[in-house]
Amino acid sequence: MAWSTKLRLPLLRDVAGFGGVMAQIGGRRTVTALAFLILGSLTEGLSILLLIPLLHLIGNADQDFAVRVPGALRWLAPGGTLSLATVLCLLVGLVALQAMFNRFKSLYMARLLYDFVNRVRMNLFESIGKARWGVFTRMRSSDLDHALTGDIDRVQAAAFSLLMLAQTTLLLAGYLAVSLFISPVMTYFAILIGVLLFIALQPFRARATAYGRVLTSRRQEQYRTVSEFLGGIKVAKSLNVEASYFAQLRATLETMKADNIAYVRNSTIGTALFQVASVIGLSLFIYIALVRFHLSLAEIVVLLLVFMRVAPRFMEMQTQAQQVLINLPAYGAMQALQARFDAEREMEPGDGGQDGGLSLKTGLDIRDLSFAYGNNSDGRPVVSSITFGLPAGKVTALIGPSGSGKSTIADMLLGLLEPTEGRILADGVEITTKNRRAWRDQVAYVPQDVFLLHDTVAANLRLAAPQAGDEELWAALKKANAADFVERLDLRLETVVGDRGVRLSGGERQRVALARALLRKPSLLILDEATSALDWQNQSLVAQSIDVLRGEMTILTIAHRPSMIAFADWVVALENGRVVEVGQYRQLKARSGSRLARMLSGERAERETATPADGAPLPAPAERSAEAAAPGG
């Protein structure tokens, strides 16, 4: 008993809390909805009450069919009787009004339900969007997708079931009120039977809650498998490992099937017990009404009609309560996720953040910068005590082996990650939590993996500048050496590029991404391994595009390959998260043993030893053409 009480109280608190949130979001409309539900139960009861005087006419052949009005309704007929036609017309009119009212009520409740669900979805969506970037590095994107699509559907089901539970409870109250007019004692008897049945079915509601929690985790597993497979289907097919994903999904589905069958097995036991108990209660009801209280035939018929409507309502309450408890864990999961993102919320101008006030006319200073991820088990920083500068209007190359911390530095300069230690200053003003969003307005970013919408070229460009006209789009494309190939497309700017830009080549995607970045007219342009997957010809085109931007903006290019840093004014070399070399490109290139010199000699050696099948030498990379234009090249 103690365990049952401990279990029941948290469930009641959860359901009450959920209902409270629905009422808060609905506002005054929630009160109106409850009024509609109460009015609906009253109209249902009145239509049944009108049957009592009609049934009294049964068996009387020598009468004028005048209907005696019950004492409680004498105000309808001062003489105490109504004609049969009048009563029938009242019955038809009442049912017609009830039908129209129910239609209006259903539409009103549907709007209330969807407004609540949409608010819950948007609250989570906005919390995700306003959180710091660091929180995303510790989460699966598939879990976020599932919360906004799968879990929200279950929240909607829970809200609908809660509304239906409220409606059923009020209808039940209306029927019992009608029954009180006929026989209070028999009404109390029916209430006692219903309450005992509802209490007896408590274990089945507890199982519904447990099943709901299991269902949440199982659906997350299912969604992760599908999302990861579709997101990496090219790799999966290239490795011929599709079967492992099939087996993983099949195992999850079989587990979900077993859980569902176990739940249905238990819930059907409850349904069967309720049906048997209902028949026993009905038999006792008839016996007591006839033998003990000697009710009239008309009263017994109406009481039976009420009882036959009341009994399913108790079962419907059980069913709707189970549906609420099954789906309520999804709401709990969404609330926990939202709380996690709210705790990592990025400061905006409206809540203490600064709007504007930053410039990049002299340069960017990075001083004693360190960063360690919060889930780094050994506590070792990814980068440590980084100090260097980005002169305004110049091109700075950040080089180093994979894992040396280049992308982490880029994310901090972009304003996505916050340094664990150290400072970043733009023209002497420190970039902090308060102005980090404002700083991002001045930065453009081109990553290695380009993100393109399944939309037109124009739509993809206008992600960066929604109000940009076609002339601005073409100007950005020309700066990115992309105008020529866009002009050759069938619909030019209105050409759909396909999912993630699949209809474009890798070089074309990169140049569209560069044009999109340039539309922002940034003070700082960051290229993070933006050409590492491209051939030398496409690298050369991108390099030329970047080279002509010298002086217009400050540029940071991150690359392994020398062909993409030959146009740089300055070079910063990293190893194991630390700066090991800083200097002008020309000087470091000429210095024997420098990291830059070793990188250049390594690429030359690789190029000299690698030849095509026909023995002809490989074409020179973009370095030579770009290097000629670089200062000190």
pLDDT of the residue at 606: 45
pLDDT score of 1 more than 60? no
pLDDT, one tens digit per residue, over 177-217 is 767 766 677 677 777 777 777 777 777 767 776 777 777 77
pLDDT of the residue at 612: 47
The Cα–Cα gap between 566 and 544 comes to 11
Neighbours of 435 (CB within 10 A): 21
pLDDT score of 62 more than 60? no
pLDDT of the residue at 449: 77
The Cα–Cα gap between 248 and 222 comes to 9
User: Model confidence at 233, in pLDDT bands (50, 70, 90)?
Assistant: confident
pLDDT score of 615 more than 50? no
Q: Which residues pair with 373 in a beta bridge?
A: none
Mean pLDDT of all residues in 287-314:
68
pLDDT of the residue at 353: 59
Show the tokens assigned to 169.
């409870």
pLDDT score of 607 more than 50? no
User: Taking all residues of the chain, what is their mean pLDDT, rounded to a whole number?
Assistant: 75
Higher pLDDT, 525 or 40: 525
The Cα–Cα gap between 376 and 577 comes to 14
pLDDT of the residue at 78: 58
Q: Is the dihedral of CA 480, 481, 484, 489 positive or negative?
A: negative
pLDDT score of 50 more than 60? no
Q: What is the largest CA-CA distance in the chain?
A: 126
Most confident range (mean pLDDT) of 63-67, 133-137, 390-394 is 390-394
pLDDT of the residue at 616: 42
Radius of gyration of the chain (CA): 37
pLDDT score of 565 more than 70? yes
Higher pLDDT, 448 or 309: 448
pLDDT score of 127 more than 50? yes
pLDDT score of 70 more than 60? no
3-class SS at 161? Answer: helix
Higher pLDDT, 291 or 51: 291
Nearest to 32 by CA among 23, 42, 43: 23
Higher pLDDT, 494 or 93: 494
pLDDT of the residue at 622: 39
User: Model confidence at 352, in pLDDT bands (50, 70, 90)?
Assistant: low
User: Model confidence at 385, in pLDDT bands (50, 70, 90)?
Assistant: confident
- Which residues neighbour 421 within 8 Å (Cβ) at sequence distance 6 or greater? 368, 369, 370, 371
- Which residues neighbour 325 within 8 Å (Cβ) at sequence distance 6 or greater? 11, 15, 205, 208, 209, 212
pLDDT of the residue at 491: 86
Element (H, E) at 487: helix 483-488
Please state which of the ranges 219-228, 372-381, 399-408, 593-602 shows the lowest mean pLDDT: 372-381
pLDDT of the residue at 320: 82
Show the tokens assigned to 54.
């009609």
The Cα–Cα gap between 229 and 246 comes to 9
- Which residues neighbour 381 within 8 Å (Cβ) at sequence distance 6 or greater? 370, 371, 372, 420, 577
Q: What is the DSSP string of 550-603?
A: BTTBEEEEE-SSGGGTTT-SEEEEEETTEEEEEEEHHHHHHSTT-HHHHHHHHH
The Cα–Cα gap between 177 and 180 comes to 5
- Which residues neighbour 32 within 8 Å (Cβ) at sequence distance 6 or greater? 108
pLDDT of the residue at 533: 55
One-letter amino acid at 280 equals I
Neighbours of 259 (CB within 10 A): 15
pLDDT of the residue at 152: 87
Mean pLDDT of all residues in 299-318:
69
3-class SS at 2? Answer: helix
pLDDT of the residue at 243: 81
Nearest to 412 by CA among 528, 324, 514, 495: 528
pLDDT of the residue at 630: 35
**Is-contact 353 441, C-beta < 8 A?**
no
pLDDT score of 577 more than 80? yes
The Cα–Cα gap between 327 and 324 comes to 5
pLDDT score of 308 more than 80? no
User: Model confidence at 597, in pLDDT bands (50, 70, 90)?
Assistant: confident
User: Model confidence at 63, in pLDDT bands (50, 70, 90)?
Assistant: low
**Is-contact 417 424, C-beta < 8 A?**
no
Q: What is the DSSP string of 357-371?
A: ----SSEEEEEEEEE
Q: What is the DSSP string of 297-364?
A: HHHHHHHHHHHHHHHHHHHHHHHHHHHHHHHHHHHHHHHHHHHHHHHTBPP-GGGT---S----SSEE
465: DSSP letter: -
Mean pLDDT of all residues in 397-401:
83
pLDDT of the residue at 476: 87
Higher pLDDT, 475 or 275: 475
The Cα–Cα gap between 439 and 435 comes to 6
Nearest to 520 by CA among 558, 568, 479: 479
Q: Is the dihedral of CA 396, 402, 403, 408 positive or negative?
A: positive
pLDDT score of 265 more than 80? no
Mean pLDDT of all residues in 316-324:
80
Higher pLDDT, 494 or 542: 494
pLDDT of the residue at 225: 82
pLDDT score of 613 more than 60? no
Element (H, E) at 525: strand 524-528
